[in-house]
Amino acid sequence: MADWSKLSIDISSLIHGELSVLDYIRVGAVCKQWNFACKLKYHCPTKKPQSPWLVLPDECDTTTIKFFSILEKKTYKIPCPEPMIHRRAYIGSGHGWLVTVNDTCSMHLLNPLTGAQIPLPPVTTLPFVSAHHNSHGQIIEFVVEVPYGANIISTLVFSFKAVLSAVPDVGDNCLIMMICNNWKHLVIGRAGGEAWKCISIYHHYTNIIHRKGKFHTISDTGIVKVWEHDGLFLRPKIIKSNIRYFLNQFMHYLVESLDGNLLLIVRAQEEIKPSDGFLVFSLDEQEQKWKKVNNLHEQTLFLGYNHSVCLSAANLPELQHSCIYSTNNKLLYFQHGSHDMEIFYLKEKKTRRIYHLERHLNWPPPIWLTPSLS
């Protein structure tokens, strides 16, 4: 009878390359030899494309991270890495990493699978945030400056969205652009850096992506900007809009398609959802015009309050073709409610609710994470 625990490293590598991340983790738990093979530094864990996870908030358990797997249609928990950081909110994701802020407003990048953590600049370096200390020098509250009216005294900085420019473990090249506070100011910082830099306060920004080496932003009035960056110095270029659907009752997402085109997705709030459900536009960069898209073919979009992504359904058979996966878009964050996932079929213009998740806090919203062990 064959002793499967004595597989060579080369054969193990071939097997690992065909596994999902969850199966890769399970393989490492079979025996000591397989666990050793999984931990080898030079070994590439898996080359197989991965379906996104939906990371869920959990007010009760601060020792684990809860997520929903589309591939297995199950909810799982994985231990938070040590040293333990207090209760976290997840405000962004990218390249397999989460952008987190805890109950003392300390910010970190976290890879929930490897346990790697990288500190981000302190929130007190934001130009509109200051801290109050007690007699022992400990922070007891934060003050968020308000352009009009009284300042807000808060223990939480209102961060809406954060996006990474690159894999954060490659030198110091990872920049984080973030939409901050209720007035949606735009700031930028570096992973492991010392301070945030405010770069724009003139528009209410609602969405960010990083595409072709540049950050792209959109405001609630439909102004799309492409940001050339040299370190923390940025120069914006404006893309004018030729479409409507830019009112407060609409939500807007920027996504990079599989062929590198810039997509704009428009979604109405639930009370006034248009008959189309979602509207998809692609930017014609030569004419600088948005053109409506009626079929995504093998592409599948994942939209949420965080980093939005486009994946190939041809490489991930568990995904539906020409569809948009989304979480519910209710804006009543500070209450309990169900987190529903829906699929919108773009060609047929139909919506189907596919999974009903157990009740969680509606804030912070669940976010998509494409898991990575590298």
Higher pLDDT, 339 or 199: 199
Question: Do residues 311 and 49 touch, judged by C-beta distance below 8 A?
Answer: yes
- Measure the CA–CA gap between 309 and 301, rounded to whole angstroms: 6
DSSP helix/strand/coil, 73: coil
Q: Angle of helix 9-16 relative to helix 32-39, nearest 10 degrees?
A: 70
What's the rounded mean pLDDT across residues 123-129? 79
Cβ within 8 Å of residue 364, ≥6 positions away? 57, 89, 90, 91, 305, 333
Would strands 262-268 and 159-164 be described as parallel, antiparallel, or unpaired?
Answer: unpaired
Residue 298 has pLDDT above 80, yes or no: yes
Mean pLDDT check: name the lowest of 5-14, 40-49, 76-85, 127-136.
Answer: 40-49
Q: What is the pLDDT of residues 22-49, one digit of tens each?
A: 666 666 666 666 665 665 544 555 566 7
What's the rounded mean pLDDT across residues 201-225? 86
Amino acid 12: pLDDT:
64
Lookup: tokens for 91: 């405000």
User: Which stretch of DSSP H or E encloses residue 344?
Assistant: strand 336-345
- Measure the CA–CA gap between 217 and 225, rounded to whole angstroms: 5
Q: What is the DSSP letter of 272?
A: G
Higher pLDDT, 41 or 73: 73
User: Which stretch of DSSP H or E encloses residue 15?
Assistant: helix 9-16
Amino acid 277: pLDDT:
78
* Sheet with 74-79, edge to edge strand ranges: 74-79, 64-69, 53-56, 367-369
Confidence of residue 100 (pLDDT cuts 50, 70, 90): confident
What's the rounded mean pLDDT across residues 255-272? 83
Q: What is the pLDDT of residues 129-175, one digit of tens each?
A: 777 777 776 666 666 665 555 454 454 445 568 999 988 875 678 99
Q: What is the DSSP letter of 41?
A: T
Lookup: tokens for 197: 């830099």
- Measure the CA–CA gap between 121 and 129, rounded to whole angstroms: 13
Higher pLDDT, 247 or 72: 72
Question: Do residues 227 and 218 touch, judged by C-beta distance below 8 A?
Answer: no
Residue 87 has pLDDT above 90, yes or no: no
